[in-house]
A and B are shown apart, each in its own frame.
Chain A
Amino acid sequence: MTEFLRKNKLAFTGLIIVGLLTLSAVFAPWLMPYDPSDQLLQDRLQGPTWQHPLGNDELGRDILSRILLGARVSMRVGATVVLLSGIAGVLIGGFAGYVGGKIDTFVTVVVFNSLLAFPGILLQIALVAFLGPGLDRLIFALVILWWVGFARLARGQVLKVKTLEFVEAARAIGASNLRIFIRHILPNIIQPVLIQASIAMAAAVLAEASLSFLGLGITPPTPSWGAMLNDGRNHLFDAPHMVVFPSIALVLTVLSFNFLGDALRDWLDPRNL
């Protein structure tokens, strides 16, 4: 791994940024120079200064503090959505692939096709719009839609692995189906799931930001990078820093997870190199 990271500079950069981001998300309350909700009206729309390195927004709130707390929100949404949809997807998709037959047909034909018949963001918008805004509802809506991606992947992998000799050997020595699935199949399908998780993390951060940008995600005063960009859109003429800094934070995060996903794929499956 160390050798791989030394050779793959993009992966190394991605890992460093993701590490920093995780730290800033965890320690945001202690790292923030100001309370992100404090309205310093005398500093409203002010560009970067020594007191406020990333400037202030239209209500005079410190943008650096809001970006740091926004990282916490983004990472929380990303991690929760990926974890929950990953577990649900692997279990449902894996089970369908393992048992096969009518259950598999139902899951693939009816469930997958209905959820994939919509363009992703449209269904997210529809679901969040009808559920109402808020962090938990946003996470719920994303999990409802995202487990399908993991389920499809897991099902495909299980179909491949379940015909291998070691599974037959386990069955021959009398292992139960549950034991075969958990002890023998799951560990062998986890690699592609991890790659998918890294890429899904980037997509979840983006999805949260997109929905918050449209005013359908995180509700004020909780800071979200998407909502900050939406606020900044109205001040492009007089306070462009309101758009520039949240954009940099968001793009760096998404790029890092994408770099990491690409690198994980190359590391775990060197045929892609």
Chain B
Amino acid sequence: MLSFFLRRLLMTLPVVWIVITLVFGLIHMVPGDPVAQMLGEGASVTEVERLRHELGLDRSLLEQYRTYMSGIVRGDLGMSFRNQESVTTSILTRYPATIELAVAATIFSIVLAIPFGVISAVRRGRSADRAIGVVSLLGVSLPNFVLGPILILLLSINLGILPVSGRGGITHLILPAITLGGALAAVTMRMVRGSMLEEIRQDYVRTARAKGLSEKVVLFAHALRNGLIPVITVLGLQMGALLAGAIITEMIFSWPGLGRLTIQAINARDYPLAQGCILTIALTYILVNLATDLLYSVVDPRIRYD
């Protein structure tokens, strides 16, 4: 088991390197001059040259890449152009809020998806299944920037039961978590349904029923336990996407997380900060995928990379 963990960890390293290099490439190789963009159209050539020198952008690409990589290894993501603060500190301050939101959204989607996914599978083809199918398709098609404002309109403005925005207690977390987790709940529900449909046809389920176990025990203790294995992968992959999707949700609810910081940095043309935020979200995505793979091998010992 340990050697599998280590091998999987080693396989992640090249991906991490590719991601870091791609983020570096994005800022340095795409057309357009970040310094000219930062200073605006009215800037003189001297001003552009001075800032370029201050930021180290007049050095060779290889040299800049070396400085950038050595900084990352030391956990130093540079200084923000905007307020001369350490990018690492800014990110670390906002990171917990994003994780809190992502975890809450995942919990919401699991709580919703498992029971409804099971009901949909058990009642296959009946009206309950069709209704759940339509709702889940609606959930997949409802982007968070539509769902968020509609929830604010209904629950905060019309009913006045939940706060509109900001981070605080649990009440502040409900609307952003539903907004972010809505689509994930829909995807997971479809996955649970599909997986359960496979499982309830298996011989061991028939055996469990033949032993006289109650339907609840057969479904939840036997079929669901196996049916959840592929669902874990989807959840893991989606959890990473959730972190990226948090960017929009955080903007809607003025949630002080990493996503909002990313957009603020982009709008302020603060490239080191934007670069650091994007890199952090991408690395978190990779780590979550790695954790999912490892968890998958624990849940289903047949999975190995031999």
Contact = CB atoms under 8 A, between A and B. Distances in A.
B143 A243 contact: no
A216 interface: yes
Contacts of A262: 137
Contacts of B248: 121, 210, 213-214
Contact of A126 (B164, B251, B278): B278
Contact of A229 (B18, B34, B146, B274): B146
Contact of A122 (B138, B142, B149, B281): B281
Contacts of A121: 241, 244-245, 247-248
Chain B interface main SS type: helix
B178 interface: no
Contacts, number: 120
B32 A117 contact: no
B153 interface: yes
**Most A C-beta atoms less than 10 A away, residue of B152, B245, B266:** B266
A126 B25 CA distance: 11
B30 A114 contact: no
Chain A interface main SS type: helix
A160 interface: no
A206 B143 contact: yes
A237 to B, nearest CB: 6
Contacts of B22: 114, 117-118
A50 interface: no
Nearest to B271: A130
Interface in B93-123: none
Q: How large is the interface on A (under 10, 10 to 19, 20 to 34, 35 or more residues)?
A: 35 or more
Contacts of A237: 157
A253 B37 CA distance: 35
Nearest to B34: A130
B18 A113 contact: yes
A243 B241 contact: no
B145 interface: yes
Q: How large is the interface on B (under 10, 10 to 19, 20 to 34, 35 or more residues)?
A: 35 or more
B19 A127 contact: no
A232 B149 contact: yes
A113 B12 CA distance: 11
Contact of B243 (A119, A210, A213, A216): A119
A254 B143 contact: yes
A27 to B, nearest CB: 25
Nearest to B19: A117
Interface in A188-215: 202, 206, 209-210, 213-215
Contacts of B245: 119, 121
A250 interface: yes
A122 B191 CA distance: 24
Interface string A231-262: 01100110010011001001100110011001
A153 interface: no
Given A119-B281, A121-B247, 9 more contacts: A119-B245, A121-B245, A130-B27, A130-B32, A215-B267, A229-B145, A237-B157, A247-B146, A258-B141
